[in-house]
Amino acid sequence: MAPAVSGRAWALYAMMAVLWGIPYLFIKEAVDSLTPAAVVAGRTLLGAAVLLPIALRRRALRPARALWPWVLAFGAIEMAGPFLLLGHAEQTLPSGLTGLLVATVPLFATGIALVRGDRSALSPARAVGLVVGFAGLVVIVAGPGLAVAEPAQALGAIAQVLLVALLYAIAPFIIATKLAHVPALGTITLSLLAVGLAYLPFALLTQHELPTVRSGLSLVALGILCTALAFLGFFALIGEVGPVRAPLFTYVNPVVAILLGVLLLGEPLSPGLLLGFPLVLVGCWFAATGGRLRLRRQAPPFAP
């Protein structure tokens, strides 16, 4: 029997559900006057600036530096590609829809496990989860009332977000196979710093105007709250409930993203979204867990 969840753990669950549910709102606001490259550079450098002193104090960087090619590969797949793609996509898509599409990570992770020959991914419950989850995606994308100005452009943006979900599903396999014995804090800090420095020249070349106050504050929130503080909170949650139960909050993140988009940005709830939303969540749950609360041991989830 799993141990009871403490009050501190519930507080951390709630904090993580919000901190990794609100990035889509802040990305939407940030790209209003910042280029996607500037958003990536600003967010990652701010996150690295907060985490670097902590990583140095805990001596977490040296093991990560020893495996720097894999750390850079993780940073490219987990941060450099997804953060830029999300910025481009949210210039077209509602933030709530983006958050829900990213929540399909477990579907892609199960598909990758199948390709890798993981027999446990072939269970009937996980197969049903894959079918139901992707059916929900079809309903959302092809269903009535997709609230976008240009449908053709929206399909391209949806493809970008689904590519983000695929990349987020691939990244944990690098952690599990190549960086399992490296402190997560060191890997994440070094990745953030490398990605930020790589994007800084592109940010300077593409950003030709001063950002609005609203976009600037959204960028700061992305870097400090949704990146640095979120990772620290996630590490604390792992320490409280272990790596198996810690990722459960990720099933609440799309709910937070959709509610914030509707309440704060006035984004409409299309019939397709209302019908497909529960199908995607149920499908992701079954694909990832087989319908059981007891999850398999896994790497830290994606950071939107």
pLDDT digit string (tens) for 54-111?
A: 999 999 999 999 999 999 999 999 999 999 999 999 998 889 889 888 888 888 887 8
Total count of domains within the chain:
1
- The per-residue pLDDT for 145 is 59
Give domain status of residue 141, yes or no.
yes
- The per-residue pLDDT for 251 is 79
Who wins on pLDDT, 46 or 168? 46
Residue 166: partners with Cβ closer than 8 Å, 6 or more residues away: 108
Give domain status of residue 297, yes or no.
no
pLDDT tens across 116-159, in order? 777 666 678 878 888 888 888 888 877 665 655 566 788 899 99
Give domain status of residue 298, yes or no.
no
**174 pLDDT more than 60:** yes
Who wins on pLDDT, 197 or 299? 197
Give domain status of residue 116, yes or no.
yes
Give domain status of residue 264, yes or no.
yes
Mean pLDDT for 42-53 is: 96
- Banded pLDDT at 1 (limits 50, 70, 90): very low
CA distance 103 to 97: 10
Give domain status of residue 168, yes or no.
yes
Give domain status of residue 144, yes or no.
yes
Give domain status of residue 172, yes or no.
yes
Domain residue limits at 154: 7-289
Who wins on pLDDT, 180 or 57? 57
Mean pLDDT for 33-54 is: 96
CA distance 266 to 248: 28
Q: Which long-range contacts (CB under 8 A, 24 or more apart) does 140-143 make?
A: 140/97, 140/100, 140/101, 140/272, 140/273, 140/275, 140/276, 140/277, 140/280, 141/272, 142/272, 143/270, 143/271, 143/272, 143/273, 143/275, 143/276
